[in-house]
């Protein structure tokens, strides 16, 4: 383990600086690997090369599960953008040389067992030279939870080596078309483990997460008039959240003050309202007489971004939480939609119609400067939603024909499809 630490200390100093807690490792003092905080002087440069060895199935039949734990973890680490993975089926002298030539100073190994409906999983981060264990974790439970345990180890590596939470255990809620109906489903952030939230054979739209990833708030026509419904995963309850005259849509949750913001026609025109969660009185925030919709909170809960056609065409606007200090962020173009404020507060993502009448994802700073186009595909690219660490965006795209869910880095790179069943839209990424 000491060689791993010393070698890391000698890495390109313009890119990586190790925290003082490395001294605890060097002298074998009892400190957690979480004390090793890696920072970067150049934005986007904080990456670590890791060797990765296929996990061993020590007992049971690996073919009884549709994945391997090491494949899940490797996908997590590579997608995070923090690790450069060099994979090998086993660790030997040849593999060691290949890992080191690729810049890796440590490697991941593990083994698991499958007995009946149960599993055990052991995951380790090993120093290449000394073969000492840097990080070791063990998990056990029902087979259905094995994939989640693999995600848990991925998040553990991110936290221990970078001092930040990983996103591998986060989830995505979305709308999918089933038998002509629009239902709500939830999946792991990598597209696996799909769970149905609604089966009411109606139209269910615009889901959002509440209380981290414990509840989902959405608009449903199940009762005839479109109203908010709430699914509580802990209690299992799924029913009407509150009712009002008119149509309630586009909910957004403010975790800082436990409030929701939403669009409603309760007073005739579509306006923006705010309400305490779970109980509270609705407060109207906009009074323009135009269509105001798709509100999203800033991460500090002080501001709200939304879409308004008060200037003649749908544009992106920002206002304070009480409706004051309203200003337009966009001024040109024909159509903007579905704005989403990043968890870091530095960017706002939205869909915009380009010169070819295609909808593409763009971002802009909260002061209306530095607009950037992230997608360039023909068709529709809409409904952006940020990962909880602000490093990635999930969105809907019709680039493959019908609507499907895609992901990309916050700068538009590494775009990849994660849903394949057809008719999937309106994704929202959960909190950690």
pLDDT at position 36 is: 39
Q: 219 and 157 share a domain?
A: no
Cα–Cα distance, 178 to 222 (Å, whole number): 15
User: Which of the listed residues 162, 190, 215 is the one where a domain comes to its end?
Assistant: 162
Instruction: Summarize the confidence of residues 73-77 as an average pLDDT.
Output: 97
- 46: which strand partners? none
Kindly give the pairing relationship between strand 238-242 and strand 227-232. antiparallel
| DSSP H or E stretch at residue 289 | none
Which CA distances in Å does 30 have to 34, 37, 136?
A: 12, 16, 14
pLDDT at position 349 is: 98
Q: 183 and 158 share a domain?
A: no
Instruction: Summarize the confidence of residues 110-135 as an average pLDDT.
Output: 97
Query: Which DSSP category does 143 fall into?
Result: G
**247-281 as b/e: b if 16+ CB within 10 A:** ebbbbbbbeeeebbbbbbbeeeebbbbbbebeeee
**Over pLDDT 70: what percentage of the chain?**
90
Cα–Cα distance, 126 to 135 (Å, whole number): 7
For 43, residues 6+ apart whose C-beta sits below 8 A from its C-beta are none
Q: Which of 424, 429, 30, 16 is nearest to 205 (CA)?
A: 424
Q: 406 and 325 share a domain?
A: yes
Mean pLDDT lowest among 8-17, 49-58, 261-270, 338-347: 8-17
Q: 304 and 182 share a domain?
A: yes
For 188, residues 6+ apart whose C-beta sits below 8 A from its C-beta are 147, 148, 151, 171, 172
Q: Provide the domain count of the chain.
A: 2
Q: Grade residue 180 by pLDDT with cuts at 50, 70 and 90.
A: confident
Q: 66 and 105 share a domain?
A: yes
pLDDT at position 42 is: 34
Mean pLDDT lowest among 45-59, 86-100, 156-170: 45-59
| DSSP H or E stretch at residue 235 | none
Mean pLDDT lowest among 5-14, 97-106, 126-135, 217-226: 5-14
Cα–Cα distance, 235 to 415 (Å, whole number): 36
- Here the tokens at position 325 are 């200090």
Q: 244 and 280 share a domain?
A: yes
* pLDDT at residue 165 tops 50: yes
pLDDT, tens digit, 9 for 90 and up, residues 209-231: 999 999 999 999 999 889 999 99
pTM reported for the whole predicted model: 0.90
Q: 348 and 423 share a domain?
A: yes
- Here the tokens at position 335 are 């159509």
pLDDT at position 353 is: 94
pLDDT, tens digit, 9 for 90 and up, residues 282-325: 999 999 889 999 999 999 999 999 999 999 999 999 999 999 99
The answer to whether 18 and 53 are in contact (CB under 8 A) is no
Q: Grade residue 355 by pLDDT with cuts at 50, 70 and 90.
A: confident
pLDDT, tens digit, 9 for 90 and up, residues 398-423: 999 999 999 999 999 999 999 999 99
Q: 218 and 342 share a domain?
A: yes
Alpha helices in 53-92 (DSSP H): 69-80
Q: Which of 279, 384, 275, 377 is nearest to 336 (CA)?
A: 384
* pLDDT at residue 426 tops 50: yes
pLDDT at position 27 is: 28
**386-422 as b/e: b if 16+ CB within 10 A:** bbbbbbbbbbbbbbeeebbbbbbbbebeebeebbeee
- Here the tokens at position 190 are 């990598």
Q: 125 and 196 share a domain?
A: no
Q: 286 and 308 share a domain?
A: yes
* pLDDT at residue 38 tops 60: no
**Over pLDDT 90: what percentage of the chain?**
85
Q: 179 and 326 share a domain?
A: yes
The answer to whether 155 and 162 are in contact (CB under 8 A) is no
Instruction: Summarize the confidence of residues 337-355 as an average pLDDT.
Output: 96
Mean pLDDT estimate for the chain:
90
For 397, residues 6+ apart whose C-beta sits below 8 A from its C-beta are 375, 377, 379, 380, 381, 382, 403, 404, 406, 417
Q: 194 and 118 share a domain?
A: no
The answer to whether 359 and 352 are in contact (CB under 8 A) is yes
pLDDT at position 46 is: 77
Kindly give the pairing relationship between strand 424-429 and strand 292-297. unpaired
User: Which of the listed residues 105, 133, 162 is the one where a domain comes to its end?
Assistant: 162
Of 261 and 31, the structure prediction assigns the larger pLDDT to 261
* pLDDT at residue 1 tops 70: no
pLDDT, tens digit, 9 for 90 and up, residues 358-391: 999 999 999 999 999 999 998 899 999 999 999 9
The residue range of the domain holding 66 is 2-162
The answer to whether 95 and 114 are in contact (CB under 8 A) is no
Place of tokens 């002509």: 180
Q: Grade residue 16 by pLDDT with cuts at 50, 70 and 90.
A: very low
Kindly report the number of other CB atoms within 10 A of residue 288's CB atom: 15
CATH number of the domain enclosing 358: 2.120.10.30
User: Which of the listed residues 108, 141, 162 is the one where a domain comes to its end?
Assistant: 162
- Here the tokens at position 205 are 């739209």
CATH number of the domain enclosing 152: 3.40.50.10070
């Amino acid at each position: 383990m000491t060689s791993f630490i010393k070698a890391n200390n000698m890495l390109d100093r313009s890119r990586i600086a190790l925290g003082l807690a490395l001294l605890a490792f060097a002298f074998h003092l009892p400190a957690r690997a979480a004390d090793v905080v890696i920072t970067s002087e150049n934005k986007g440069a904080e990456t670590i090369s890791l060797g990765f060895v296929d996990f061993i199935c020590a007992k049971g039949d690996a073919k009884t599960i549709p994945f391997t734990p090491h494949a899940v973890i490797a996908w997590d680490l590579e997608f995070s953008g923090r690790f450069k993975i060099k994979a090998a089926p086993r660790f030997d002298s040849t593999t060691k040389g290949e890992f080191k030539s690729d810049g890796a100073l440590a490697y991941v190994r593990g083994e698991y067992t499958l007995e009946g409906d149960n599993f055990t999983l052991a995951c380790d981060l090993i120093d290449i030279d000394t073969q000492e264990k840097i990080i070791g974790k063990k998990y056990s439970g029902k087979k259905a939870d094995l994939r989640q345990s693999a995600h848990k180890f991925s998040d553990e590596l991110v936290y221990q080596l970078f001092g930040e939470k990983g996103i591998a255990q986060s989830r995505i809620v979305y709308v999918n078309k089933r038998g002509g109906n629009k239902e709500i489903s939830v999946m792991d952030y990598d597209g696996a483990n799909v769970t149905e939230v609604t089966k009411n054979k109606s139209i269910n739209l615009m889901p959002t997460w509440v209380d981290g990833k414990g509840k989902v708030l959405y608009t449903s026509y199940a009762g005839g008039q479109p109203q908010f419904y709430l699914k509580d995963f802990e209690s299992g309850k799924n029913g009407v959240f509150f009712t009002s005259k008119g149509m309630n849509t586009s909910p957004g949750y403010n975790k800082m003050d436990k409030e929701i913001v939403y669009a409603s026609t309760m007073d005739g025109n579509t306006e923006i309202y705010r309400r305490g969660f779970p109980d509270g009185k609705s407060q109207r925030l906009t009074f323009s007489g135009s269509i105001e919709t798709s509100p999203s909170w800033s991460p500090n809960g002080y501001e709200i971004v939304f879409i308004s056609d008060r200037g003649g065409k749908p544009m992106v606007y920002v206002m304070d939480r009480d409706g004051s200090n309203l200003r337009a962020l966009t001024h040109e173009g024909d159509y903007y939609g579905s704005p989403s404020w990043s968890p870091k507060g530095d960017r706002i993502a939205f869909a915009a119609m380009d010169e070819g009448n295609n909808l593409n994802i763009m971002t802009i700073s909260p002061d209306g400067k530095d607009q950037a186009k992230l997608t360039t595909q023909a068709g529709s690219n809409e409904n952006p939603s940020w990962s909880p660490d602000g490093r990635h965006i999930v969105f809907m795209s019709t680039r493959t024909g019908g609507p499907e869910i895609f992901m990309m880095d916050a700068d538009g790179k590494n775009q990849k499809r994660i849903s394949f069943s057809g008719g999937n839209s309106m994704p929202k990424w959960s909190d950690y």
